[in-house]
């Protein structure tokens, strides 16, 4: 009797844990250091995006998929490229260095890393004044990238990407720093930023 | 005496049940305070349970455009209301600048929107469930 009760309780606990929604939040923070000093903080539950996206049918967004006709997709087989990189060893695969900016694309474990660094000299060249260097850091899990490209050739499956994103506990997705703006997009299990 | 008591009891029962229903559904609150000019203050509290009914009572032709505009977004509003209802309480959107502060946060089953600008302060809160019901009625 005791064993039966215990097994029922364990089953109920297991069911409760499995049924409990894993609260994952995507956070967007924009801090502008201009005269207005705008600060924007957005916290969206991934489950909300997952529930709402399939219901929206407007223009190029339909059932969580975005049509991207007439873009670089037409010339490059992104899926094949992604597949090849994800199976390759960790390495820096693309390095573009110019006077104005450096671009690096690398693979580190299960992540695709993209770094764009605008040189401060180049940034300040036009105005003559010294400006802070602009940097963009993007970190995308291959699983998410694969999910994003899992639709038709001219589609980005945003819904599938969000579902894939929900599997990662804490993830720094995008960081942009420039002269006036500081943008950060990340995923974690907290529903507030600070 | 007995009939009078029964009527009174019935009326009280309806009042209590009505009160419970109104309490459960919550209320839509709108509070606008002007900071300049006449410094008007508008404070409106409407039981949320009334809104879907009120929308039904408005002549159909008066809401024709609103119906047309909102229909494509109805599934999204419904899904968002339901999912937000399940989410833990907390801030959803915070925008701060030198001139304006905007807050949207979820507390309990309600959504609270606060805008504080140089000209006025606007506070709006509404139960998420009522929002979905009202929009559904609007789309019919």
- Range(s) of the domain holding residue B111: 27-139
Per-residue pLDDT for A40 more than 90?
yes
Exposure pattern of A74-112 as b/e (b: 16+ CB <10 Å)? eeeeeeeebeebbeeeeeeeeeeeeeebeebbbbeeebb
Residue A55 and residue B95: Cβ atoms within 8 Å? no
Q: Do B97 and A23 touch (CB under 8 A)?
A: no
The least confident of A80-84, A166-170, B65-69, B90-94 is B65-69
Distance from CA of B98 to the nearest CA of A (A): 5
Q: How far apart are CA A117 and CA A192, in angstroms?
A: 30
Query: Is B120 part of a structural domain of the chain?
Result: yes
pLDDT digits (tens, 9 = 90+) for B8-53: 777 777 767 666 666 556 888 999 999 988 899 999 888 888 877 7
Has residue A48 got a pLDDT over 70? yes
- Interface contact flag, B97 A36, Cβ < 8 Å: yes
Which residue from B28, B30, B32 is spatially nearest to B121, judged by alpha carbons?
Answer: B32
Contact list, A52 vs chain B (CB under 8 Å) = 76, 79-80, 83
Give chain B positions within 8 Å (CB) of A35: 98
pLDDT exceeds cutoff 80 at A16: no
Query: How deeply is A143 buried, as exposed, middle or buried, from its count of CB atoms within 10 A (0-12, 13-18, 19+)?
Result: middle
Lowest model confidence (mean pLDDT) among A3-17, A83-97, B72-86, B102-116: A3-17
Where do the domains of chain A lie?
21-188
Chain A residues contacting B via beta carbons under 8 Å = 21, 23, 35-45, 47-48, 51-52, 54-58, 191-193
User: Residue B61: inside a domain, yes or no?
Assistant: yes
Closest CA in chain A for residue B89: A191
The pLDDT of residue A73? 59
Facing A37 at nearest CB: one of B84, B94, B98: B98
The interface predicted TM-score (ipTM) is 0.74
Across chain A, mean pLDDT equals 80
The rounded distance, in Å, linking the Cα atoms of A31 and A181 is: 6
B16 within some domain: no
């Amino acid at each position: 009797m005791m064993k039966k009760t215990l097994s029922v309780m364990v089953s109920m606990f297991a069911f409760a844990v499995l049924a409990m929604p894993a609260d994952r939040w995507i956070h967007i923070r924009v801090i502008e250091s201009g005269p207005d000093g705008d600060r924007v903080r957005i916290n969206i539950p991934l489950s909300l995006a997952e529930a709402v996206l399939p219901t929206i049918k407007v223009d190029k967004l339909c059932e969580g998929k975005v049509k991207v006709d007439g873009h670089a997709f037409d010339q490059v087989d992104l899926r094949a490229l992604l597949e090849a990189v994800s199976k390759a060893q960790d390495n820096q695969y693309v390095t573009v260095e110019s006077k104005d900016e450096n671009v690096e694309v690398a693979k580190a474990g299960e992540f695709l890393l993209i770094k764009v660094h605008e040189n401060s000299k180049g940034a300040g060249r036009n105005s003559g004044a010294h400006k802070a260097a602009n940097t963009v850091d993007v970190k995308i899990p291959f699983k998410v990238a694969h999910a994003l490209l899992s639709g038709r050739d001219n589609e980005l499956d945003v819904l599938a990407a969000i579902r894939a994103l929900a599997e990662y506990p804490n993830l720094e997705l995008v960081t942009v720093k420039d002269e006036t703006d500081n943008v950060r997009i990340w995923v974690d299990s907290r529903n507030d930023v600070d | 005496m007995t009939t009078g008591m029964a009527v009174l009891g019935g009326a009280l029962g309806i009042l209590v049940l009505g009160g419970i229903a109104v309490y459960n559904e919550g209320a839509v609150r709108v509070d606008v305070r002007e900071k300049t000019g006449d410094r008007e203050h508008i404070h409106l509290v409407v039981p949320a349970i009334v809104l879907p009914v009120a929308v039904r009572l408005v002549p159909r032709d008066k809401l024709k455009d609103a119906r047309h505009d909102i229909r494509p977004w109805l599934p999204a509003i419904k899904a968002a209301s339901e999912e937000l209802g399940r989410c833990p309480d907390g801030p959803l959107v915070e925008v701060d600048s030198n001139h304006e502060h905007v807050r949207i946060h979820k507390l309990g089953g309600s959504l609270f929107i606060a805008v504080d600008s140089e000209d006025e302060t606007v506070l709006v809160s509404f139960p998420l469930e009522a929002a979905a019901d009202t929009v559904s009625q609007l789309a019919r």
